[in-house]
Amino acid sequence: MPKLDAQSPALVSEEPRSEDRLRGLSTWVEIDASAYRGNLAFFRRLVGDAVELSAVVKANAYGHGIREIAELAVAAGADSFCVHSLEEALDVRAAGHGLPILVLGHIPLARLDEAIAADLRIALFNRASLERLDALTATGTNRAKVHLKLETGTHRHGIAEDELDTFLTILKAAPGVDLEGVYTHFANIEDTTDHGYARAQRARFETLVDRIRSAGLAPEVRHAACSAAALVVPETRFDMVRLGIGQFGFWPSKETLLSYRAAAGDDRAALEPVLTWKTRIAQLKTVPAGAFVGYGLTYRTTRTTRLAILPVGYSDGYDRQLSNQAHVLVAGRRAPVRGRVCMNLTLVDVSDIPEVALEDEVVLLGSQGSERVSAEQLAAWSGTIHYEIVARIRSTIPRLVV
């Protein structure tokens, strides 16, 4: 039996799915390799061969497993990666991938040497980072690749217009720092079918890029689009798209789907969710009518009730907001969550599914038979977005590529 822990994710993914192995797991995530390939092929057709397709694998690849997805992305023809942190970038490198990796977040000044050594693309929005990179490369033995992050209206990371000249002046005098790319990020693509704000950001971006070029610098890779922008505002694709949620088969939002349908028509078979989250029944019990269920006595049975106890709780990413709201799938049918979701346990009502047995497979997120619990549905129950639902699935739960 291979060790199934966070230190050996590659080992996990190389193992074929066998009933024997699965029987040893109490909760796990299955990644559908063919759905993933289909999604990437869809985006490749959408943006064409000339545009760099960069797989955003931050947050453990949105909960899908960074190493598992990195491997699938390379095989499916992704051109590069984006991550948030230095640690994530080094993890992808340690898994043996040589493709370009852009670190979108701040790299501590004290570790910029590691980013250079790993040949990472470094997002630049702090002057101190640029000065440190200049110092580290001044001897000429190594070079730093940077992508300037431009402020165009999101007011997250980014260089404001009035700071730009300072950056350009330092860059021009820093022979070891290569300005490879320039980029921005949209504030209002997913939440609306009106892309006026995004178009204004795009126009500001172009103006700033023109200023950089007139200063004599020539960044080759201009990029702005996340999944939603790549899908519905084609003129944001530039030289590269940063593909996050879409690669996992999710529409970024209902508004994005509506915009896509309005412009492109048929969305059927475009995207297919990749992730299924499963667990197994850890105990079955029958309680009488009038019994209280779980902490806080928030549920009380109205009849003799058969409960299945599931070994998954909010510490695994099964949100406490799902208490008394969600359902799971057992034997292809819906079993409602009763009482509060606990730290490691959740109770579901299987009174009307008499055939269930100890250790039966339960689907928390995904399909079983003709039923489906979507990430969007879990998000609606939890008062959040599907991005958060998948990103918070505990990273040490095994990911199995099937």
Ligand X SMILES: *Cc1c(COP(=O)(O)O)cnc(C)c1O
Q: Quick check: 243 binds ligand X (CB under 6 A)? A: yes
Shorter beta-carbon distance to ligand X: residue 135 or 160? 160
Q: Which is nearer to ligand X, 59 or 312 (CB)?
A: 59
Residue nearer to ligand X on the CB measure, 245 or 330: 245
Amino acid at site 163: E
Q: Binding mask 18-37 vs ligand X (x if CB under 6 A, - otherwise)?
A: --------------------
What is the smallest separation between the CB atom of 231 and ligand X, expressed in angstroms? Answer: 9
Does 233 interact with ligand X (rule: CB under 6 A)? no
Write down the least CB distance from residue 8 to ligand X, Å. 27
Chain residues 126-155 in contact with ligand X, contact rule CB under 6 A: none
| Minimum distance from residue 239 beta carbon to ligand X (Å) | 14
Q: Using CB under 6 A, which of 242, 278, 338, 340 touches ligand X?
A: 242
Q: How far is the CB of 87 from ligand X (least distance, A)?
A: 16
Instruction: Please confirm, yes or no, whether 58 is among the known catalytic residues.
Output: yes
Q: Closer CB to ligand X, residue 221 or residue 243? A: 243
User: Which of positions 254-283 make contact with ligand X (CB under 6 A)?
Assistant: none
Environment class of 291 (CB within 10 Å of its CB; exposed 0-12, middle 13-18, buried 19+): middle
Number of residues counted as binding ligand X (CB under 6 A)? 13
Whether 299 is a known active-site residue: answer no
- DSSP class of residue 163 equals G
Q: Which is nearer to ligand X, 60 or 227 (CB)?
A: 227
Rounded CA separation 312/378 (Å): 15
Q: Is 185 in the site for ligand X (CB under 6 A)?
A: yes
Q: Which of 76, 7, 2, 4 is nearest to 38 (CA)?
A: 76
CA-nearest of 229, 274, 225 to 256 is: 229
Q: What is the CA radius of gyration of the chain?
A: 24
Answer whether 294's CB lies under 8 Å from 347's CB: yes
Q: Are the CB atoms for 177 and 133 separated by under 8 Å? A: yes
Separation between Cα atoms, residue 168 and residue 145, nearest integer Å: 15
Q: What does the buried/exposed string (b/e) look like for 77-86 if buried means 16 or more CB atoms within 10 Å of the residue's CB?
A: ebbbbbbbbb
| Distance from C-alpha of 367 to C-alpha of 332, rounded to nearest angstrom | 8
Q: Both tokens of residue 118?
A: 């790993």
For residue 6, the minimal CB distance to ligand X (Å) is: 22
Fill in the per-residue mask, 92 to 121: x = in contact with ligand X (CB under 6 A), - = not in contact: ------------x-----------------
Determine, following the binding rule CB under 6 A, whether residue 56 of this chain makes contact with ligand X: yes
The reply to whether 340 sits near ligand X by the rule CB under 6 A is no
- Reported as type and span, the H/E element at residue 38 is helix 33-47
Q: Least distance to ligand X from the beta carbon of 388, Å?
A: 12
Which is closer to ligand X, CB of 28 or CB of 250? 250
Compute the half-sphere exposure of residue 377: CA atoms within 13 Å on the CB side of its CA. Answer: 12
Looking at 84-232, list the stretches that DSSP marks H as alpha helix, in order from N- to C-terminal side.
Answer: 86-94, 112-117, 127-137, 164-172, 196-214, 227-232
Q: Which of 58, 145, 149, 278 is catalytic?
A: 58
Among 40, 46, 66, 226, contact with ligand X (rule: CB under 6 A): 226
Stretch that binds ligand X, among 138-146, 239-247, 322-330, 342-350 (CB under 6 A): 239-247
Contact by Cβ (8 Å): 5, 290: no
Closest to ligand X by CB, 223 vs 327, is 223
Which of residues 117 and 264 has its CB atom nearest to ligand X in the complex?
264
Main-chain dihedrals φ then ψ at residue 347, nearest 5 degrees: -110, 130
The minimum distance between CB 151 and ligand X, in angstroms, equals 13
Output DSSP code: residue 314: G
The residue written with tokens 């996990």 in the block is: 12
Q: Shortest approach of ligand X to residue 229 CB, angstroms?
A: 8
> Scanning the structure block, which residue is given the tokens 């955003």?
56
End-to-end CA distance of the chain: 18
Residue 227 in contact with ligand X, rule: CB under 6 A: yes
**390 binds ligand X per the rule CB under 6 A:** no
Give contact residues for ligand X (rule: CB under 6 A): 56, 58, 104, 185, 226-228, 242-246, 252
Active site residues: 58, 295
